[in-house]
Structure formats: structure tokens, C-alpha cells
A = this chain, B = another copy of it.
Amino acid sequence: MSVPSAPAVPARDDFVTAELYARIQQFYAWQMGLIDDRKAEEWAATFAEDAVFEEASRMEPLRGRAAIAASCRKRADRLEAEQTDFRHWLGMLDVRAQPDGTLRTRSYALAMRTRLGGPLEIFASVVCRDHLVPDGNGWLVRHRSLQHDGSGQ
């Protein structure tokens, strides 16, 4: 079989520093821990005041930190009532520094839940794309877009 030569593709040279990468990894571990611990207001505080949260296959966009907090609180209360442990697991983090000092990130996320006494259900694979903006010593999510695998998007 004749196999054509693979075209030359320049390698990436825009990886971020270890300090920034570790910082963003820690940010996400903390942030996801907050929602999983049902700390809706603390979780919402990791979003910018004017943040937009999009999950196109599931709901209309949430606009603003207060709306994000309210939605999260409702969700947390429901999970509490249903005695369900929920985990957001992020990985495969890609961070791209933007010329304006903000960051664009992409990560894979698994959504999983375990009802009291029940089996683990890992039910969704999601691609999370964030726009992070600097805030004091840290970062806030200004825009989050969640794209569910299998949704045709």
C-alpha cells in the first residue's frame, strides 16, 4: 500500500508556564469542589459579575453572577433533597494566553452522580470552554460554554 507522506505541521510553542498552568488547575479543582459541595454562592463568586454561562443543549444562557448563583442554588437544593452526590471532573486542560491578558481554556469534563446507596453513574462527557479574566491575584470566569458529546453540536 502506498502511504502518502504526512504534511508538515508546525509544533505548538504557545504552552503556558508551569506557574500559570498549575494555578488554573488548582482554580478548577477548587471551583468544581465548590459546586459539588453545594456551596452555590461561593461557586458563583468564581464567575465575573457579568458572566455568561452557556449550555446550549440543556438550557437558555444564564446571564450575570446572580443568575448563575440562583441556578446553582436551586440545583444544589434538589441534589440535597435527592440525597445525591454529584461530581464534576475536569481534565485534559488546555490553556491559551490571549494578547489582552485574558485566558481561553478548554477542558474535558465528566458529569457523574451517586444516589444514596446506589451505583455510580457517569452520564455525560462535556467539553468546557472558558474565557477567564484576571481579578486581583486570581481569575474569574467571564464566559463558559459547555458542549455535550452526542448533542450534535
Q: Which residues of A contact B (CB under 8 A)?
A: 3-9, 11-13, 15-19, 21-23, 25-30, 32-33, 41-42, 44-46, 64-70, 83, 85, 87, 89-95, 106-108, 110, 112-120, 122-125, 135-138, 140, 148-150, 152
State whether A85 and B149 are in contact (beta carbons under 8 Å apart), knowing that A6-B41, A6-B65, A45-B9 are contacts in the complex.
yes
Which B residues lie within 8 Å of A106 (CB)?
Answer: 33
Cα of A136 to Cα of B11 in the assembled complex, Å? 9
Interchain CB contact under 8 A, B13 and A137: yes
Oligomer: number of copies: 3
**What is the distance, in angstroms, from A45's C-beta to the closest C-beta of chain B?**
4
State whether A23 and B15 are in contact (beta carbons under 8 Å apart), knowing that A9-B45, A45-B6, A149-B87 are contacts in the complex.
yes
Instruction: Please give me the residue from chain B that is nearest to A15 by CB atom.
Output: B26
Interchain CB contact under 8 A, B16 and A26: yes
Which 5 interchain pairs have the tightest Cβ spacing? A114-B150, A9-B45, A114-B149, A18-B22, A85-B149
A-B contact pairs, 30 of them (CB 8 A): A4-B70, A5-B66, A6-B41, A7-B41, A8-B45, A9-B41, A11-B45, A11-B137, A11-B138, A11-B140, A12-B30, A13-B136, A15-B27, A16-B26, A17-B22, A18-B22, A21-B26, A26-B93, A26-B94, A32-B92, A33-B94, A85-B150, A87-B108, A87-B125, A89-B91, A90-B92, A114-B148, A114-B149, A120-B123, A120-B150
